[in-house]
Structures are given as structure tokens and as C-alpha cells.
Amino acid sequence: MDIVVCVKHVPQVSEAEVRVTSDGRDIDRSGLVFDINEWDDYALEEALRIREERGGTVTVITVGGEESDETLRKCLAKGADNAVRITDPRINLWNPMVVARVLAAAISKLQYDLILAGAQSSDDGYGAVGPALAGFLGIPHATIVKKVELRDGSVLVQRELEGGLEERLKIKLPALLSIQTGINEPRYVSIMGVRRAMRRPIKTMSLDELGLSPSEIEDESSWIMVKELYAPPVERRAEIIEGNPEEIASKIVEILKSRGIL
């Protein structure tokens, strides 16, 4: 069972202030901490578990600059067999259709039975790369998968639907599954694994090596065009009430009365 896992090197912004660059096309990355996308970490763990049960290989692949090697080496440290990075300054990483087309060109050159990806990424939240990648490759797919059971030549999946419903599907291989968090418990990286990963090669590929022309990855040729990134305007601000407990309580009562709540 040869499995390809799509991963992404993303900023951890839950406790950081994010600023948009002056051209409105990217975020200011200075001072931000980066790591593997949370959903992709679960996809990698699922791939490793399948390989441990059925044998085969796990190849991780990403689109990004040299800084993405940090995430790829983390995947290698966890047990991935191979790592591939597609790097080219002409690729707009904020356009999911462009990223999916680039990944499709690279993965079509690999041997695979199953492709796993995170259900979405924490930086843009599109959830579009997985389904678009399956479309470019011409293979079946399922999204928001929370359980995987392999059969001969097919895979049984359980996926989430709206309203608390769930769906079970039987999909013929090769196929792509976008994995939901909670499907498993991702393993920790060992010190020995990190040391081994630092010595492992990471294969890099460019658009020219993939046979893609610049016109094929331009925003204008994509179904989605990223026009601008911006921080949403602040519509409401929190009011800080100061004073001793009696004064604060009195002010709260006045506010509630003024708004007709009391």
C-alpha cells in the first residue's frame, strides 16, 4: 500500500497578532512560529497506521519554500519514508486551485494507492485542495473522513455530515481522502527520530520539472482568484469597567437599564 500525504507548513496564530503585507498578497511572517497543519498531522498518523498494518510506503509532499523542510523533516521523524517539496516563486500559495494543480502534476509522477490530506488548513480554511486535487487526478474522493477501513481494491470510509449525521461510503482505489481531526491520536516525535530525519534527503521539484507552464498556474487561469488579504475591521470594542466591586456593579446595572434589559 503506497500512500501519499499532502502536508502544509502553517503559522501558529492562535495567540499571535497577524499583519498583512503592504501589497495585500501575504501575511507578515516575521516573528511567527510555524508547524505542520493540524489536520495534516492526523492524515499522516492515519497513513503511518495503515502502513504498519499492511506494509508499503508513506510519502509526504508539500508546496512551499525551503522553510517547509521543517514540517517535512517532522513527518520523516514520525516515520514517513520519503519527502517531496515543490518549490517555485511563481506559485501563489494562497490560491487553492493553483496548489492543487501543482500537487496533481507532482503526484501523477509517483506511485500511489491512496492519497490523504487534511480536511482543511488552519491558515485559510478553504478545504478545497483535497477535492480539487482528486478532480485533477481523475480519482474518487471523500471529505471530512473520521474512519478508514481498507478492503481489497477499495476503502470503506465514515464521514461527517451536517446536523450530526454520518455517512458510510465504499470507494474504489486509488482514491483521495481528506481527514478530519480526532480520527486518531497523532504520535510524538522522538529525539532519535529527529536525528535520523536530519540526515534524510528531501526531493525538490520545480514547475519546469513538472512540465507546468506559468500560464497554467496563474490566478487568471484558476477558478479562484485571490484579490486581497486584509484584517476585518473592528466593529465592537470591549468596555473595561474599573472601580471597586460596588462601583462596578452599579455601572453594570446602569448599562443594563439603558439597554432595556432591566
**Is 254 inside any structural domain?**
no
CB burial of 143-171 (b: ≥16 within 10 Å; e: otherwise) equals bbbbebebeeeebebbbbeeeeeeeeeeb
Q: For residue 221, what pLDDT is reported?
A: 63
Taking the chain, what is the end-to-end CA distance rounded to the nearest angstrom? Answer: 66
**Is 253 inside any structural domain?**
no
Least confident of 116-130, 148-162, 209-223: 209-223
**Could you report the per-residue pLDDT of 6-45, keeping only the tens digit for each?**
999 998 877 777 888 888 777 888 888 899 999 999 999 9
Q: Is the pLDDT of residue 139 over 90?
A: yes
Looking at the structure of the chain, the number of domains it has is: 1
Residue 87 maps to which CATH number? 3.40.50.620
Q: pTM of the predicted model, to two decimals?
A: 0.84
**Is 255 inside any structural domain?**
no
**Is 226 inside any structural domain?**
no
**Could you report the per-residue pLDDT of 174-222, keeping only the tens digit for each?**
999 999 999 999 999 988 888 989 989 999 999 999 998 877 887 666 6
Which domain range does residue 30 map to? 2-221
User: Whole-angstrom Cα distance, residue 8 to residue 202?
Assistant: 15
**Is 260 inside any structural domain?**
no
